[in-house]
Copies of this chain bind each other. A is one copy, B any other.
Amino acid sequence: MEKAVILLSGGLDSTVCMAVAKSRGFELWPVSFNYHQRHRIELESARRVAVFFGVPKHLVIETNMDDIGGSALTDLAISLPEGDPDRIEDDVPASYVPARNLIFLSYALGYAEVVGAAHIFIGVNAVDYSGYPDCRPEFIRRFQAMADYATKTSVVDHRDIRIETPLMNLSKKDIVLLGTKLGAPLHLTRSCYSDGEMACGVCDSCLLRLRGFAEAGIEDPVVYERRA
């Protein structure tokens, strides 16, 4: 059975990615990150999703990215703005974490090399997203071009590790529909950026998610603190 490393935050997108990789016949090797994020409670969702899929191992990388800061997600002194549904994609918001996807993909590449996986799945999306530069196709394309020269696996053994972005061109509505069709455990997921136990319902991430479910005509199984 071919292995795939999956970047699993515990949110909607990465959980649908798990389901996509499973539907393609891969053995799932998820990796999650405790980067001292405001919403590290998402790791509990990641854990439950990993259990749901019966994975051989769930790797959790711990790292003090809060000592770098520069983001409302890692520096509690920067306030997490309430989202505005009409201008989510206009600008790079305060929730942007410098180089986060790059750091996560870099760990995933090393992990894929060690476990012998030829594929890495990441749930980036350039349609209904928050405008982060490291979610865009050109970033992923260039990461791939770099990865092909980064590891012993690629340079010496000539086996490339492919970055898979099955959600890149889907709307949030399409992601909800795809996850539902594949039986992904959407009820276990958490997309919210806040540190509350319950999803806040008003941050960018909650707004995008709620809009996706609404457009799909499906009830979001997650309970929200309030609704915009």
Contact = CB atoms under 8 A, between A and B. Distances in A.
A148 B98 CA distance: 13
B70 A61 contact: no
A147 B61 CA distance: 23
Interface stretch (A104-112, A166-174, A179-187, A215-223): A104-112
Interface residues of A, number: 45
B63 A61 contact: yes
Contacts of A114: 68-70, 98
A59 interface: yes
A145 B111 CA distance: 23
10 contacts: A68-B110, A70-B113, A92-B156, A96-B152, A98-B152, A102-B146, A103-B107, A136-B149, A145-B146, A146-B146
Given A61-B63, A133-B152, A142-B149, 8 more contacts: A61-B67, A62-B64, A98-B110, A98-B113, A99-B107, A100-B110, A106-B106, A142-B142
